[in-house]
Amino acid sequence: MKKVIISLLAFVTVAVAFVSCQDGTMFKMTVEAVDSNGNSPVLWPKDAVLATWDDAMTPVEVSLAGIAPDSSYATAVMPKGTTTQGVRRFVYPAAVCAGEGMVMIPAVQSGKDFPVAMPCYAEAEEGKGELAFKSLCGVLRLNLTTTEKLACVQVSTEDSNEFMAGRFGVENYPFPVLKAVEGTVMNVTVDQLSGVDFSQGGVLDLYVAPNCYNTFTVTLVTEDGRTCVKHLKDDKYIVVERNVVCSVSLGQNEGELVFE
């Protein structure tokens, strides 16, 4: 497989006016465009919710207090009673927070929420005046062409030391690095594809942990239970970088996908 890497400049920059995270602290959050290749800018959705925790490891959710008319920035207010003990961490969306200082990359995804729900992470020490969210994951983009009616698609790795999703610790270097802990898994599944037409080609975007993967296996399952298994392997490895889209095309050549 020929490896194609597309730069993804998706990160969230947040301007913060605060001395410490206390009651009523307001954040002004802006999100830069994904890249210069025609992709849509990341805009704050109306139902966006952040999660935050400090050294005490007690997560709280933060809802948006206001969104600009063009959705290019938003404001959020820390919940009543929130104080900071040491470093305060933030993740978006809130569902990424897995408690006890951990983050959760979903093992079951829609394949359609990129870049709005790109998992992002940020840290702020007490007294810090600026907060920058950065992507936690890489994106594996599957370009699929098939006349078959698909029910689900799964991407997996065969190496037991390579984890694609699940529960991770996270460290900042100053960009976030995922650390595998108990609860990580070796696959990501996109389900609920019934009714989606791939006959003219379609795209599924999967958030996965950045890694140099020895193998990728893509399993396509039709609505009537037939499967097509494709083993993808580069000469050495397949690289999925943090904040980068790795594109894989399947089914564009006649006879490439065989379902049994």
Residue 72: what are its φ and ψ, rounded to 5°?
A: -80, -20
3-state SS assignment for residue 192: coil
Residue 94: what are its φ and ψ, rounded to 5°?
A: -60, -30
More confident position, 58 or 84: 58
- The residues with which 31 forms a beta bridge, in sequence order, are 12
DSSP 8-state code for residue 85: S
- Is it the case that residue 8 has pLDDT exceeding 90? no
Residues in the chain: 260
Least confident range from 20-34, 61-75, 109-123, 163-177: namely 20-34
pLDDT digits (tens, 9 = 90+) for 160-178: 889 999 999 999 887 889 9
CB 221 within 8 A of CB 151: yes
Percent of the chain with pLDDT over 90: 38
pLDDT digits (tens, 9 = 90+) for 242-251: 888 888 999 9
Q: Quickly state the pLDDT bin for 45 (edges 50, 70, 90).
A: confident
Cis omega (within 30 of 0) for bond into 59? no
Torsion of CA 121, 104, 178, 42, to 10 degrees: -40
In this prediction, residue 10 carries a pLDDT of: 33
- Is it the case that residue 7 has pLDDT exceeding 50? no
Structure tokens at 247: 């594109």
Q: Quickly state the pLDDT bin for 65 (edges 50, 70, 90).
A: confident
Average pLDDT, the chain: 79
In this prediction, residue 50 carries a pLDDT of: 87
